[in-house]
Amino acid sequence: MDKEGDYESDNSRVNVFVRVRPVKGKEEKATRQAGDKSVRISVTKKSEKTFVYDRLFGEKDGQQAVYDVVGRPVIQDVLKGYNGCIMAYGQTGAGKTHSLLNMANGSAKGELNQPGLVPRIVTDLYIAMAADFMGMFTVSVAMCQIYNEQIDDLLKPKNTNLRLTMTNEKSWEVEGLSWYKCKTPEYLVSVISNGRKRLVYAETEMNKHSSRSHAVLMIKVQRHNRSDVVKKEQMEKESAQASDSEGEDCSSEAKKDVVLRGRQGILSIIDLAGSERVKKSKSSGIQFTEAKKINNSLLVLGQCVQALAFKKGHVPYRDSVLTKFLEPSLSGTARVNLLVCVAPERIHANESISTLEFAYRAMSVATSPTVNEMTVCTSPKELIADLASAASVVKLE
């Protein structure tokens, strides 16, 4: 049996992890952990189904164990210039938001007070950047919500109904989404916490129906070689001096010689809407339209995963906003980790089985992550002003 942290990720396909949360109260359980990779679920009293994944987290596995396997490895990839995507899938109440977005600082004991993936990723990201002496980094963040096929900015509430525009053949960008530069981990955490509050606010406003919305967090990390930045800074100084003494601008030629090349990795973390089927949620009227649409986007996600798993020619990415947004990740250029959350109670068994089947299919989706090279026209001065620094994190150690 593998020990904690021994997990070796497979970059040639989507990696799938399943987390079964502890049972609520004295309810009867339908799931049983079998080793550190498989789960058994009883279909009827007499028959059981077994599913095997990259890793199975049971009720004794806390936030740290999930982070070590699902979160930590992605940080290194993003720093190298790969895009990363971590998605939580599962029915409402199965533990998606707790696993990803719990912002507690761990000052009190108990699972519910332990930080989820996101705050842990933020801390380790800044520590890793500080350890890379050859690199200079800038970090920015954006958050949005996809609800009823509409994209709304979570960091700038008046910024609603945003469009997806195509940046290249397979890549979409949310037009007009606000990005915030984050020099310190504390600032990044505070921006994310604000976005999360908006999500909770929307939840009460929408009568607890934000379990029907997808929450998207993106952290963009740009890396430049320190030596290039220093060289360009020097050249700019020299050309400024030359133009001062000659009284004319002869700097443009010299400037062209040193372009700032770098790498950019975007980590997208997505807390998907509840995957429960409409029939069960007793939706009616407007709520039903809502449920149908949300259900539609997850349905399309299922169809995309199915098409990709069976290597079908046509993948219906364009049939929902969510899948359009996910196209760059699912079409294989990003590293994708899927965290599937399962409720263990018998009353949820049917829902859990369809969740586990979706998770199993997702394991066959092939990926081949590629590095995103980029060149920027920013002047070294501007770049240096925005640099991310982990001074405060390092001091804590």
90, 115, 185, 380: residue in contact with ligand ADP (rule CB under 6 A): 90
CA atoms within 13 A on the CB side of 200: 10
What does the per-residue mask of binding to ligand ADP show for 3-32, with x meaning CB under 6 A?
------------------xx----------
Distance CA 368, CA 17 (A): 19
Residues 6 or more apart whose CB falls under 8 angstroms from that of 204 comprise none
Nearest alpha carbon to residue 198 among 182, 174, 217: 217
Distance CA 223, CA 78 (A): 10
Residue 41, φ and ψ in degrees, nearest 5: -135, 135
92, 210, 222, 268: residue in contact with ligand ADP (rule CB under 6 A): 92
Distance CA 201, CA 195 (A): 10
Residue 99 touching Mg ion (CB under 5 A):
no
68, 111, 203, 228: residue in contact with ligand ADP (rule CB under 6 A): 111
C-beta closer to ligand ADP: residue 21 or 196: 21
C-beta closer to ligand ADP: residue 114 or 264: 114
13, 96, 183, 196: residue in contact with ligand ADP (rule CB under 6 A): 96
Residue 275 touching Mg ion (CB under 5 A):
no
Residue 281 touching ligand ADP (CB under 6 A):
no
Residue 71, φ and ψ in degrees, nearest 5: -100, -55
C-beta closer to ligand ADP: residue 97 or 367: 97
> Any known ligand binding at 93?
yes
C-beta closer to ligand ADP: residue 214 or 263: 214
Are 330 and 323 in contact, with CB atoms under 8 Å apart? yes
Which of Mg ion, ligand ADP, none interacts with 332 (beta carbon under 5 to 8 A by kind)? none
Distance CA 181, CA 188 (A): 8
> Any known ligand binding at 96?
yes
Cα angle value 361/363/364 (rounded, 5°): 75
Distance CA 81, CA 97 (A): 27
16, 86, 94, 321: residue in contact with ligand ADP (rule CB under 6 A): 94
> Any known ligand binding at 289?
no
Residue 97 touching ligand ADP (CB under 6 A):
yes
Taking contact as CB under 6 A, which single stretch among the options 27-35, 95-103, 154-162, 318-326 is the one that binds ligand ADP?
95-103
Shortest distance, CB of residue 149 to ligand ADP, whole angstroms?
A: 21
C-beta closer to ligand ADP: residue 22 or 157: 22
Are 344 and 31 in contact, with CB atoms under 8 Å apart? yes
Q: Which single residue is written with the structure tokens 């430049």?
A: 224
User: Residues 123, 87, 178, 157: is their CA dihedral positive or negative?
Assistant: negative
Residue 210 touching Mg ion (CB under 5 A):
no
Are 216 and 141 in contact, with CB atoms under 8 Å apart? no
Which of ligand ADP, Mg ion, none interacts with 94 (beta carbon under 5 to 8 A by kind)? ligand ADP
Which stretches of the chain bind ligand ADP, using CB under 6 A? 21-22, 90, 92-98, 111-112, 211, 274, 341
Residues in touch with Mg ion (CB under 5 A): 96-97
